[in-house]
Amino acid sequence: MAEASPTVLAHVAWMLRGTFEDLSTEALAYILNRSDAATGAFRELLQQAGANISPIHEVQTQAVEEGGERPDLVCLDGEGIKHILMEAKFDAPLMRTQPVNYLRYLPKDRDSALLVVAPSRRLVSLWAEMMERIRAENDFTIGQERQGESVLSATVGDGRTFMLTSWDHLLGLLETRVQADNGEGTLRSIVELQGVVDYENLNAFYAPSGKLSDLNDDNKEKLERLVYGAIEEGKREGWADMTGYSSARHENGYLRYFKMHDVSMWFGYDTRLWEYLDGPLWLGFQDSAQEHIGEVRDRLSAVRVNRRDDFYHDVPSWTHKRDFIRINLSCSGEYPELLQSILVQIREIASALKEKEPGR
């Protein structure tokens, strides 16, 4: 947590960690629905990409689309058509269908736009990732592409425009326009929202240190976030079951216990393993799995061949001989990229255990 928070909203935002996107989206919708000046500035930002966007008559949040997805914010024109979709990002990774499905939801009979708003530090990497996904599809005709310092945009056919900008740039435009319009109440709301953005920037996730000697409290917290985030994603994807299991902090690290299909495991960081075998993040097996470790090893044999240097058997780890699997962690990168690299490795193990699960 930062030493000082610039606004009261930022002061309480830390209590909602993991929901910065929701909090900021609701705050932005509140501002746009109550200020014509702010709405005008929002529309002008979209028009900078050459789109002839119609006036905004209403702003909604969490509106469910036909496929069950829900863009963070939608704008309706005078006919009640959702002609603008907005997705808010801080450190969350892209979902598998973003931004492609959102672009498909845009109307094709009028100029429309998808705007993604993210921290300045993520603009370059996010733009590259999203444009790669768009180019991989056959139903988009990419036209003029513009890449400025704070605004990146491309036309994607049928009057649709795709844009990426920073929170600082967007809120700066709103503040300038509202200030000129003497909207003091709305201006205070913009300052509050800017405070949340500033707080998030101060507390943004960066890579933990790759050195055991540099493992301070800040890096411990970041490693815990990666562990927690990976298992939460595993629950959503169906390969991690936390029912009846818990997490544990101890003097040597942090572990989350869970069941991967029928195998009881844990994932976390352990400074003893780090020192002994080199690497902060590890998958380990609980007692019930260790009792049948030969069978588990057999089920993981194909993965072990490809990742021989990451599998350790019969490690004399202080009380029992154990099996451990190292999960490699880059020493540079932000939370979404680091989390995804971890998940790729764990999914491979989960897939192998599922394929050879008894009775299958």
Question: DSSP characters for 26-94?
Answer: HHHHHHHHH-HHHHHHHHHHHHTTT--PPPP-EEEES---TTS---SEEEE-TTS-EEEEEEE-SSPPP
Whether the predicted pLDDT of 14 surpasses 60:
no
> Which residues, 6+ apart, have CB-to-CB distance to 88 below 8 Å?
21, 24, 25, 28, 72, 73, 117, 118
Whether the predicted pLDDT of 138 surpasses 90:
no
Whether the full predicted model's pTM is greater than 0.75, yes or no, is: no
Q: What is the pLDDT of residue 16?
A: 57
Q: What is the pLDDT of residue 144?
A: 85
Helix, strand or coil, per DSSP, at residue 211: coil
Whether the predicted pLDDT of 239 surpasses 70:
yes
Share of the chain above pLDDT 70, in %: 91
Q: What is the pLDDT of residue 3?
A: 41
Average pLDDT over every residue of 121-137: 93
pLDDT tens, residue by residue, 23-37: 899 999 999 999 999
Please tell me what DSSP assigns to residue 208.
P
Average pLDDT over every residue of 12-26: 70
Strands 112-118 and 82-88, sheet pairing: parallel
Q: What is the pLDDT of residue 111?
A: 94
At position 252, the amino acid (one-letter code) is N
pLDDT tens, residue by residue, 31-89: 999 999 999 999 999 988 878 899 999 999 977 776 667 899 999 999 999 999 999 99
At position 127, the amino acid (one-letter code) is W
Q: In what order do the strands lie in the sheet with 58-61?
A: 58-61, 73-76, 82-88, 112-118, 160-166, 151-155, 145-147
pLDDT tens, residue by residue, 285-340: 999 999 999 999 999 999 999 898 999 988 876 657 889 999 999 877 788 889 99
